[in-house]
Amino acid sequence: MKVVHWNISKVSHPMYALRKYEDELFKHLREFRPDWKIERFWRHEGRILGSTVFSWPLYKSKNADIVHATSQTLAPTIYFNKKPKRFIVTVHDLAPLVYTSEITDFSMRIQFILTPKALKKADKIIAISEFTKRELIRLTGINEDKIIVIYQGVDHRRYKPMDTIECKKKFGLNPDDKHILVVSSNKEHKRMDLAKKIFDSLRSIREDVKMLKAGYGEVLQGEGIINIGWIPEMMMPLLFNAADVFLHTSEYEGFGLPVLEAMACGTPVVAFKKASVPELLGNRGCLVEQDDEESIVREFTNKILETMDKGKDRKAVKHSKAFSWRRTAEETIKVYEEDLAK
């Protein structure tokens, strides 16, 4: 059996959620099936040919039995190549179809004009959550029988509980302060405007609270906010463990990998009861489900205050064990085998 992965990441890309999925899936598939020939095709490094749209004609099937596009924005590649023998696509989320303000350039506009139509040409679609599956059906009309849900995972050897005080010291933080961690871009659906209001509310009650803002080099301004920027992957477990609470204000998530990684570290999570997040948290963590903004800010504030002095959430750590990259790979192999059997 020959399998080729079409990856959206470039070799030069630093670690981020989608790159992590591509790397971990590829690694574990090769461990499980050393008898298969499994290759990956990275996106071109160049500025022009490396753009998503201009990269589409460059991907090759290499006479594979299965081509697996590991991001939905690679689905249109089949318009520029002969359709593979069997074509599988992983869909992470469809946020730009819902939040059109996030379509910021011509390339993205083309992607999300062609992607919904191209997805219908796939033999199977892997959705990374039940929420993403529902959104696929709602926004594209794809038959649900074509969609299989396979959750992402977490490396429990790396993401695990550590001493909070020692981890705070690694980042030069005051061990006597309480730290609320946000790992997010500033895109509209991430609701960083709301995170700022929640933090301001917390600061009006307790001055020892600080916010740690990490991810994508984007910042939040305000007294008590520490903008950490991009953190190398090897340091991320330390950052999660340095936090007293993980705050997740996103209202639209295909999966929410940082939520899972926070749980694996035992860091209490306070998040919206929206999108895929309830699937990850189960009965762990604190979920906010108010509608008007004033009530939302108040409930987030109260839940954080109730949570941040309690220390590690050991039950959340145990719950996170249900999610592993090994399981992701096992279930993906099953999709490959069942699809080829048809």
Pair 252, 259: CB distance under 8 Å: no
Residue 159 lies in a domain: no
pLDDT of residue 253: 95
Query: Are 205 and 241 in the same domain?
Result: yes
What angle is formed at CA 151 by the lines to CA 145 and CA 156, rounded to 5 degrees?
165
CATH number at residue 258: 3.40.50.2000
| Residues 84 and 129 reside in one and the same domain | yes
Beta sheet of 66-69, edge-to-edge order: 37-41, 2-6, 66-69, 87-91, 124-127, 147-149
pLDDT at 284: 82
Query: Is residue 269 classed as helix, strand or coil in its secondary structure?
Result: strand
Does residue 243 share a domain with residue 117? Answer: no
Q: Are residues 130 and 59 in the same domain?
A: yes
Chain Cα centroid distance, residue 161? 21
Q: Note whether 124 and 38 are same-domain residues.
A: yes
The two beta strands, 2-6 and 66-69, are parallel
b/e code 141-165 from CB counts within 10 Å (16+ = b) = ebeeeebbbbbbbbbbeebbbbebe
Residue 273 lies in a domain: yes
Same domain for 10 and 119? yes
Indicate whether 312 and 198 sit together in one domain: yes
Percent of the chain's residues with pLDDT above 90: 90
Q: Is residue 142 part of a domain?
A: yes
- Cβ contact 298:308 at 8 Å: no
Cβ atoms of 339 and 123 closer than 8 Å = yes
272 in a structural domain: yes
In a domain? residue 114: yes
- Predicted confidence (pLDDT) at residue 5 exceeds the cutoff of 90: yes
**How does residue 327 score in pLDDT terms, banded at 50, 70 and 90?**
very high
pLDDT digits (tens, 9 = 90+) for 191-234: 999 999 999 999 999 999 999 999 877 889 999 999 998 899 99
Pair 238, 214: CB distance under 8 Å: no
pLDDT in tens, 131-176: 999 999 999 999 999 999 999 999 999 999 999 999 999 999 999 9
Mean pLDDT across the chain, nearest whole number? Answer: 95
Same domain? For 245 and 139 the reply is: no
Range of the domain at 89: 2-153+324-340
Structure confidence by residue, pLDDT tens digits, 10-52: 999 988 999 999 999 999 999 999 999 999 999 999 888 999 9
The total domain count for the chain is 2
- The answer to the question of residue 201 being in a domain is yes
Same domain, 291 and 234: yes
Q: Are 175 and 300 in the same domain?
A: yes
In a domain, 158, yes or no: no
> What is the b/e burial string over 182-210, where b = at least 16 CB atoms within 10 angstroms of the residue's CB?
bbbebbbbbbbebbbbbbbbbbeeeeebb
pLDDT at residue 217, rounded to an integer: 72
pLDDT digits (tens, 9 = 90+) for 247-280: 999 999 999 999 999 999 999 999 999 999 999 9
Q: What's the pLDDT score for residue 34?
A: 96
Do 126 and 200 belong together in one domain? no
Are residue 8 and residue 149 in the same domain, yes or no? yes
Residue 221 within a domain: yes
pLDDT average, residue stretch 61-72: 96
